[in-house]
Every structure is written in C-alpha cells, then in structure tokens.
Amino acid sequence: MNRILFFMMLVVTVTGLLAACSGGQPAEPVSFDVEMSEYTYTPSTLQAKVGQEITINVSNSGVLEHELMIGREVEYQDGKPNGFKVDMFTAAGVEPEISGGIASSQSSDEHMHANPGVMVTVPTSETGSIKFVVNKDMVGEWEMGCFSQEGVHYTAGMIGKFIVTP
Ligand SMILES: [Cu+2]
C-alpha cells in the first residue's frame, strides 16, 4: 500500500468518527408550547440540548397575568420571592428573541424584580414566545418561575424546570 492511499484512508476514518461523535448534523430546532394558568406551567419540565434552537411559546389560559423567567437561586425581597439571582440568559450571554406578550429585560408592570433578567409577561388570553440557541453555558438544571403579584404566584407553585444537556 502506498503512503498516499494509507493517508487517504486515515482521513476518511477520522472524518467518519468525528461525524459519529457530533451526530453528523446540527440539532433539530425544537418548540415547546407551554400553557400558563393559576398557578402552573403545563408542561412544567422542558429539556434542551446544546446547539438546539429553542422556541418556547407561552399562552395564558388563566384569569391573571403571568410571566416566565428562567434562572437559579430565588432572590427574596421583604420575604417575598422576587426573581432569580442568576438569570439563565444573562449568565450564558444569550439575548433571546422575544415576541408577543409584554417583552422586557426588566419588569414592566407594577412589580420590579430585584435583579434584571429576561422575561416575557403575558396578559390573559394572550401569547408570547422566547426564541434562542442553547449554548454550553446553559448546561444544567434551571428553574422557570412566575413572580407576579409580589411573588404570590411563585409561592403558590408556579414553578417549572428547564434542563439542558450537553
Ligand atoms: Cu403567574
């Protein structure tokens, strides 16, 4: 066997291995439809992978205004839950595309969150969405939460999970 043929075979083998390891192609975009009501997210657990383009469509079928934030470590103000100490998007350096609802990087309604974070606030019967590409800094388990009405919704159990795997 001459050296050139051997080298070409090696390249083909390595390329094949790399393709197998990475799955060969980029992850498929995924969209989730999450219903918000008093005081739940349905479904309450969402799973995503690094590299996936995620769209979270939220619809409010309840009678109160609800919001969605994703983060870690709840911040308490005057004993009331008021946002996350760590906002997932801010921590990962990702600026999601937000549409519908009342999009904001800080609370726009009567309650101000202790820490600025990405949120989408959705009035009754309306919808909104958050679109972003998952990056490696998001790997791990995050909490979804609604802190409306001075944290009453969060305390009542308006909590979910956003799980990111490599
Ligand atoms: Cu709520």
pLDDT of residue 30: 96
Query: Computed from CA positions of residues 41, 44, 50, 54, in that sequence, does the dihedral angle turn out positive or negative?
Result: negative
22 or 144: which leads in pLDDT:
144
C-alpha span between 157 and 12 (Å, rounded): 54
Cα–ligand 1 centroid distance for 67 (angstroms): 6
List the beta strands (DSSP E) in 61-151. Answer: 66-77, 80-87, 97-100, 102-104, 119-122, 127-133, 140-145
Cα–ligand 1 centroid distance for 46 (angstroms): 18
pLDDT of residue 5: 52
C-alpha span between 164 and 18 (Å, rounded): 23
Cα–ligand 1 centroid distance for 4 (angstroms): 65
Cα–ligand 1 centroid distance for 6 (angstroms): 63
- What does the mean pLDDT of the chain come to? 85
Q: Is the pLDDT of residue 19 over 50?
A: no
pLDDT of residue 110: 44
SS3 16: helix
Cα–ligand 1 centroid distance for 88 (angstroms): 19
Q: Does the pTM exceed 0.85?
A: no
pLDDT of residue 101: 79
pLDDT of residue 28: 87
Which one, of 134, 96, 104, lies nearest residue 122 by Cα? 104
Cα–ligand 1 centroid distance for 65 (angstroms): 6
pLDDT of residue 161: 98
The helix or strand, by DSSP H or E, that contains position 35, with its residue range, turns out to be strand 30-37
Domains of the chain, earliest start first? 26-165 (2.60.40.420)
pLDDT of residue 71: 97
The helix or strand, by DSSP H or E, that contains position 9, with its residue range, turns out to be helix 3-22
Q: What tens digit of pLDDT does each residue of 64-114 get? A: 999 999 999 999 999 999 999 999 999 999 999 999 877 554 444 445 666
Cα–ligand 1 centroid distance for 23 (angstroms): 38
Half-sphere exposure in the Cβ direction for 97 (13 Å, CA) = 6
Cα–ligand 1 centroid distance for 82 (angstroms): 12
Cα–ligand 1 centroid distance for 139 (angstroms): 26
